[in-house]
Amino acid sequence: MVDVNDANFDKEVIEKSKKIPVLVDFWAGWCGPCMMLKPILEKLSKEFDGKMILAKIDVQENQEKAGKYDVMSIPSVKLFKDGKIVDEFVGVQPEETIRKWLKLNLK
């Protein structure tokens, strides 16, 4: 897992997604659902280690990238491949639903 911000987003997400998919969690510390989703994403990032990178970006402190990627509500999770968003979901989802979503998107 890597913490990203407006300054290093392009290097850590866009560039790395050209080699390995990067799952970006747009979150904020005051967001209850974000705190519920966090341990699920961290668990799945270990399960899918080597198949993807989990990146987390605090939208409160990094509003430029949140705006650029149309984050309207959080948690917002976007999967980047080859520098582009290939799929996304908003809100807390059950672990098994996210696992199936990842298996589908990480083929």
Catalytic residues: 31, 34
Burial of 79 (0-12, 13-18, 19+ CB in 10 A): buried
Residue type, position 82, single letter:
D
Q: N- to C-terminal Cα distance for the chain?
A: 20
